[in-house]
Structure 1
Amino acid sequence: MPHPHRLRLTLAKLAAILPVEFALHAAVLALHPPYLLTVALLALTTTALVIWVVEPSAMRLLRRWLHAPGNHLRRQTHDELTQAPSLWRIRVTLDDRSGELERLTHRLADLDANILGLHVHPVDSGVRDELVVSTPDSVGADELLAAIGSAGGREVHVWPTTALALVDGQTEALNLAARVVADPAELSHAVAELLGARLVTDQLAVAQGMLPQDGTMLKIPSPWSGLFVFIRPGEPFTPAESARAHRLAQVAELARNLEEDCPAKS
């Protein structure tokens, strides 16, 4: 149980103690025992009754009233948590025609989904839209997939995500570019972080062409090893993402050349 409010706890203790004190004093005054006996009787009896009998009984009897504010706050917090929105990241391919995105947003609105972020990537088969949406906790991936499919979406992928997905993409790219300038060796880690991909370290698989050819593999030049290969199963890379990764590779190469030129000039 939540801790009761101090005022309510004080009132409850007074309500428990006063009747006992009143009854004992009335009985002692009626019997007129010796003074020392009166004091000892009142002190021992009152203490024993209050500590072991009256106060615990009063706390149980007044429990709902005592803890009412805390219980209300706890219920309110629980309701807020259970009704809190869920965040989802969605990737979907749409035809590059007027009204396609509007139809998708209407289908999502039917689920009370709120679009918090949107990026559009042109691809050969239309446009690849990446959205971050919040939904009521009762809406799951199946409902989102059905709504997006009814809007004409293709190659749909839906993942639970966090508020980190709402970080501005341009700011993130600039931060990673600054990291690569400071240390060109960070290129592979920066690209993996930027694209949410995994660096392929199995060079034999790369050489023998064992990696998927469905657009989920990306190759970028490396200033020191010749080539970096990244994969992202289930999520084909868009042309815009490929351009960003190649631009980071150019930044790393320029930074490395500057590092090599500076010692030579000095």
Structure 2
Amino acid sequence: MALWRIRAALEDEPGRLAAITAAIAACGCNVFGFSVQTHEGGPVDEFFVSTPEEIGRFRLIETVSRAGGTQVTAVPADPHDLVDAPTKALQLAAALLAAPDTLPEIMADLLGADDAWWDEGTEGVADSTVLIVPVPDGRRVAVVRQGLPFTMTEAARAGALAALGR
């Protein structure tokens, strides 16, 4: 079995979520987690899905798209991603309070990012896979995650965490 994180924009209409989950189930996959996140274009639904090994990224994207999802992305996930967001945020906040200079690494963990660092002034970043987070002391953290754009919900989480990193 493989674990995937799938995101899709869904029309806000009765039965749309049921159609998506039914399509996922028809492929022999199982939804382990689900959340709705805010994004500038509207809500984005996120699914953590366990799949048979032969089901890959393109089949998942096609399946969710055919069931009515748009702007569908699928990236491999780690079982640690299944820890609920509030628990993970509290654990990371405690770690940050113990070691404030580790904010970039902790923020990368919070967001499931590929990399993060203290930013010296990246200007003009227009890519939704790069998030620049201001810290109250005037510094900034740059966070990068390829293949899965950051949502407004994730940006808010990152900002709340940064507020602790004084």
Instruction: Give the TM interval when normalised to the shorter protein.
Output: 0.7 to 0.9
Out of 141, 147, 152, the residue aligned to residue 228 of structure 1 is: 141
1:132 Cα deviation after fit: 0.9
Q: Match of 1:203, as an amino acid?
A: E
Name 1:170's counterpart in structure 2.
Answer: 86
Name 1:140's counterpart in structure 2.
Answer: 56
Instruction: Flag the structure with more relative contact order, 1 or 2, with Cα contacts below 8 A and sequence separation at least 6.
Output: 2
**1:193 to 2:138 alignment:** no
C-alpha contact 1:108 1:114 (8 A) present in aligned 2:
yes
Out of 129, 132, 138, the residue aligned to residue 45 of structure 2 is: 129
5 Å-filtered alignment, 1:72-221, equals: 85-197=1-113, 198-200=115-117, 203=120, 206-207=122-123, 209=124, 211=125, 213-221=126-134
Q: Match of 2:147, as an amino acid?
A: G
* Structure 2 CA distance for aligned equivalents of residues 122 and 223 of structure 1: 24
Greater fraction of residues in strand = 2
Encode CA deviations 1:154-207: one digit per residue, 9 max, x unaligned: 222212333222222221111100011112212121111111222256636x14
Greater fraction of residues in helix = 1
Change (3 A) 1:231 1:136: closer
* Stretches (4+) displaced over 4 A: none
Q: Match of 2:7, as an amino acid?
A: R
* Structure 1 CA distance for aligned equivalents of residues 142 and 58 of structure 2: 33
* Structure 2 CA distance for aligned equivalents of residues 228 and 251 of structure 1: 13
1:225 Cα deviation after fit: 4.8
Gaps of 5+ in 1: 1-84, 254-266
C-alpha contact 2:134 2:141 (8 A) present in aligned 1:
yes
Change (3 A) 1:109 1:99: same
C-alpha contact 2:131 2:143 (8 A) present in aligned 1:
yes
C-alpha contact 2:116 2:141 (8 A) present in aligned 1:
yes
Name 1:35's counterpart in structure 2.
Answer: none
Out of 153, 158, 164, the residue aligned to residue 245 of structure 1 is: 158
Change (3 A) 1:159 1:96: same
Larger Rg: 1
Alignment: residue pair count: 165
* Structure 2 CA distance for aligned equivalents of residues 229 and 87 of structure 1: 27
Report the 3-state secondary structure (helix = DSSP H, G, I; strand = E; otherwise coil) of the residue aligned with 1:139.
Answer: coil
Report the 3-state secondary structure (helix = DSSP H, G, I; strand = E; otherwise coil) of the residue aligned with 1:152.
Answer: coil
Gaps of 5+ in 2: none
Q: Match of 2:33, as an amino acid?
A: G
1:143 Cα deviation after fit: 2.0
Q: TM-score, normalised by structure 2?
A: 0.87
Change (3 A) 1:95 1:223: same
Name 1:58's counterpart in structure 2.
Answer: none
C-alpha contact 1:96 1:126 (8 A) present in aligned 2:
no
Once superposed, what is the RMSD of the aligned Cα atoms?
2.0
Encode CA deviations 1:14-59: one digit per residue, 9 max, x unaligned: xxxxxxxxxxxxxxxxxxxxxxxxxxxxxxxxxxxxxxxxxxxxxx
Report the 3-state secondary structure (helix = DSSP H, G, I; strand = E; otherwise coil) of the residue aligned with 2:146.
Answer: coil
Q: Share of identical aligned residues, percent?
A: 38
